[in-house]
A = this chain, B = another copy of it.
Amino acid sequence: MPPGRVDPIRLALAQVNPRVGDLEGNAAKLTEYVERARDAGAELVLFPELAVTGYPPEDLLLKEHFLRAAEEALRHVAAAAQGIVALVGSPERADDVYNALAVCVEGQVVARYRKSVLPNYGVFDEERYFQAGEGGAVLELDDLRLGLTICEDLWTPGPPASDEALAGAALLVNASASPYHAGKGIRRELMMVQRARDNLCSLAFCNLVGGQDELVFDGHSLLLDHDGEVLARAPQFAETLLVGTVDPQAAITARLRDARLRPPVRRQLPQVTQLGRLPRPERVPPQPGDLGGEVTPLLDEVSEVYAALVLGVRDYVAKNGFSHAVLGLSGGIDSALVLLVAADALGADGVTAVVMPSRYSSEGTQSDARAMAANLGVRCLDIPIAPAMETYEAMLADVFAGREEDLTEENLQARIRGNLLMALSNKFGWLVLTTGNKSENSVGYSTLYGDSAGGFAVIKDVEKTLVYRLVAERARRDPESPVPESIVTRPPSAELRAEQKDSDSLPDYDTLDAILSAYVEDDADREQLELAGLPPAAIDRVFSLVDRAEYKRRQAPPGIKITPRAFGRDRRMPITNGYRPR
């Protein structure tokens, strides 16, 4: 360690929301943030993982022309790094492809750190795209040593971070693209706290924010001291430049009294690359009281999910070039939640609701639907589906002669609605939002090309019981709730045949959701569920329904992941599957 005192450093975390693949747009955004960071007096600005390309770029990373264009975009950002050091996440095409953090200074890329721990589980496929780097790396800014890490690198308690700390890093930086699920933010923060404490390092964690297909990145960037104290916290679900000051000397001093980072551990030579020594940019020295920065409080657990849904919808719509969404509004709780989210994401002018009563729709549900749209100031169209249903019945009368009514007729009604919404989408360029929840998707309680037809499935990963809590929370925040009370209190029904109730064919939703989260998210077996007190008959029925509905889920639109394990890229099951858990 150097003999002199290491000066405090003012740094900026650029919690940005790039668009995957939009290299020019992203470069412009990043450039703007570099300039804002410098204007805010920061010596260093840290960007998220792969900020230049957006995350995850998936198979774009297999295209040489894309990698070339990303490198050009990175150089464009680097050109703006004048009088400030910018650490910018971008792919590196060398002998292989690396997930890298580029050190940009005086207009140039002067060094790169290569991510050394590649996640290849859950939603991650990084072994498909990247070669792993060869361990940690230390960058010196005069006498301040920074340890560089990228996302997963810091999710393991050992190297590369521990090696970097042993090599003298007093400040760890972590560039992340860490996707959201409910409750993950606080667990990640607690982990970061422990990493800071275990390594006796200050820690700067900059996370991506924004929606990308099924993923939402929640931001929640952090500046921690070596004791794990939160010096600054960026808001969840919003773009921000978080600026704060840390005192690395405090970590260096702490190491004298805390033996853990001194011999004998030191005798194991840490595996790190020395990225070189740069002069610290000229800055106004921090003033007394400058330590830390703004600490945004965390959202409660239900508001957090709601915010994730709003951001997910807003970004999917905008990033795919839409400006307006449409949904079928039934008077039930699911479409009510989707309408609330859509109106909050896009504004009341950005949504159209369509009420499409069938012959089984009650007056109550229809008038609730219309009332809710009116309360929100959302335009509401009314298109009864009976004429189309009657026509189909006539067209199929010969072929179906002698057959009873069954699910066929229920599905036809749902598909007529799907057709109408898609016709509106085609004619007016609106994005169709679907309204099915995770409990229904899990057990296949939906109609393919019917209620599941659309561009974005807003609540596909939200279990029914959470749907109720989200609506209640949204109502609580609004003194004049737009949601008619009867939407919340009426027993759930698809209204596709007379007197239909969800509870006719499914366990109650508390039981259903308990079984589902254990089976779908935790891969639990029957014994585990019985031990938890769940009824054996319901367990068997739900397992079987989940397994048999895979073919429907495979054709479902993308939607926002809010649980630890969403259907889709997160849970990859064969359709053709003879396995039946005993």
Instruction: Give the interface of A toward B (CB within 8 A).
Output: 19-23, 25, 54, 56-60, 62-66, 69, 120-121, 125, 127-128, 211-213, 315-316, 319-320, 381, 383, 385, 387-388, 390-392, 394-396, 399-400, 403, 406-408, 411-412, 415-416, 418-420, 422-424, 426-427, 448-449, 453, 455, 523, 525-526, 551, 554-558, 571-579, 581-582
Contacts and interface: CB of A to CB of B under 8 A. Distances in A.
A532 to B, nearest CB: 15
Nearest to A412: B423
Contacts of A212: 574, 576
Given A394-B387, A572-B125, A319 B578 contact: yes
Contact of A64 (B19, B62, B525): B525
Contact of A213 (B420, B525, B575): B575
A581 B20 contact: no
A58 B579 contact: no
Contact of A59 (B60, B394, B455, B571): B571
A56 B573 CA distance: 9
Contacts of A555: 555-557
Contacts of A407: 426
Contacts of A453: 448-449
A419 B423 contact: no
Copies in the complex: 2
B455 A551 contact: yes
B411 A579 contact: no
Contacts of A54: 578
A57 B316 CA distance: 32
B449 A426 contact: no
B399 A424 contact: yes
A120 to B, nearest CB: 5
Q: Closest 4 CB pairs between A and B?
A: A22-B578, A21-B579, A408-B426, A65-B525
Nearest to A579: B21
Nearest to A427: B408
27 contacts: A20-B574, A23-B578, A23-B579, A54-B578, A57-B574, A63-B523, A63-B525, A63-B581, A65-B523, A65-B525, A65-B526, A65-B581, A128-B572, A212-B576, A213-B576, A381-B399, A383-B399, A385-B395, A392-B420, A395-B420, A406-B426, A412-B419, A415-B419, A415-B449, A416-B419, A418-B449, A449-B453
> Residue among A69, A554, A575 with the most chain B CB within 10 A?
A575
Contacts of A427: 399-400, 403, 406, 408
A422 B415 contact: yes
Contacts of A19: 576, 578
A150 B64 CA distance: 31
Given A415-B422, A419-B419, A555-B556, A578 B388 contact: no
B423 A578 contact: no
Contacts of A388: 388, 391-392, 395
B579 A60 contact: yes
Given A63-B525, A412-B419, 18 more contacts: A20-B574, A20-B579, A21-B574, A23-B579, A54-B578, A58-B572, A59-B572, A65-B523, A65-B525, A65-B526, A390-B391, A391-B391, A395-B420, A399-B424, A411-B426, A422-B448, A455-B551, A555-B557
> Residue among A424, A426, A574 with the most chain B CB within 10 A?
A574
Contacts of A574: 20-21, 56-58, 60, 212-213
Nearest to A57: B574
A438 B316 CA distance: 27
Contacts of A420: 392, 395-396
Given A65-B525, A453-B449, A59 B573 contact: yes
